Amino acid sequence: MYSLLETAADRLARGTALLGGLVLLAVVAMTCTSITGRALVPFGLGPVHGDFEWIELGVGFAIFAFLPWCHLQRGHASVDLFQPVFPPVMNRIIDVAVDIAMFIAASIIAWRLWLGLLDKQRYGETTFILQFPIWIAYAACLFGAVVFVIVVAFCVLRSGRSLFAAKKT
C-alpha cells in the first residue's frame, strides 16, 4: 500500500511540476515575443496586450506547481547546523516535525486561496488591461496548493514511517 501511495505522490508532484514548467516556458516565449514586438513598433508590430498580467498569472501558477515536487524531494531550505551532532533518531524526529509543520502551513495556504477565490468570484474583480477574472488565477494557484497539501500529507507518512521503522530495529 505504501509503495502505491509513494508512486501516486511522485507522479502527482512530478506531473504538476512539469505542467508548471510548461506554463513557465510559455510565459518566457510570450515575454520574448512582447519585447521583440516593442522593438518592432516602427514596423507595425507591438507588445503582447496585457503581457504583465499573463506573466503574473503564469508565474503564480508555476510557483505553486513547483512546491509539491520541491517538498517531496526535500528541496526546501533547511538549517543542518546540528544534524551531524544529533543521533539519527533525533534527525528523523525533526523530519516528522518539519513535515507536520509544512502540512499545517500548506493547508492554511490552500484554505486562504480558496477563500480568496470565492471573494474575487463574488465581487467579479478583473485585471486592469485584459479584464480577465482574477478568481481564475486564484483557481490555478489553488490547484497547485491542493496538490501540495496531498504531497505533504504523504511526506508526513513517509517521515513517520521512517521514524517508527528505525525504532523497531
Cell numbers representing residue 14 in the block: 512530478
Q: Helix or strand or coil: residue 114? A: helix
Query: How far are the Cα atoms of 73, 93, 124 from residue 70, in angstroms, in the given order?
Result: 5, 20, 33
Structure confidence by residue, pLDDT tens digits, 117-143: 999 999 999 999 999 999 999 999 999
Q: State mean pLDDT over 135-153.
A: 97
The Cα–Cα gap between 51 and 39 comes to 15
pLDDT > 90? residue 44: no
Residue 166, pLDDT above cutoff 70: no
- Of 6, 4, 3, which Cα lies nearest the Cα of 154? 6
Q: Say whether pLDDT at 42 is over 80.
A: yes
For CA atoms 67, 143, 110, 122, the dihedral sign is: positive
What per-residue confidence (pLDDT) applies to 168? 60
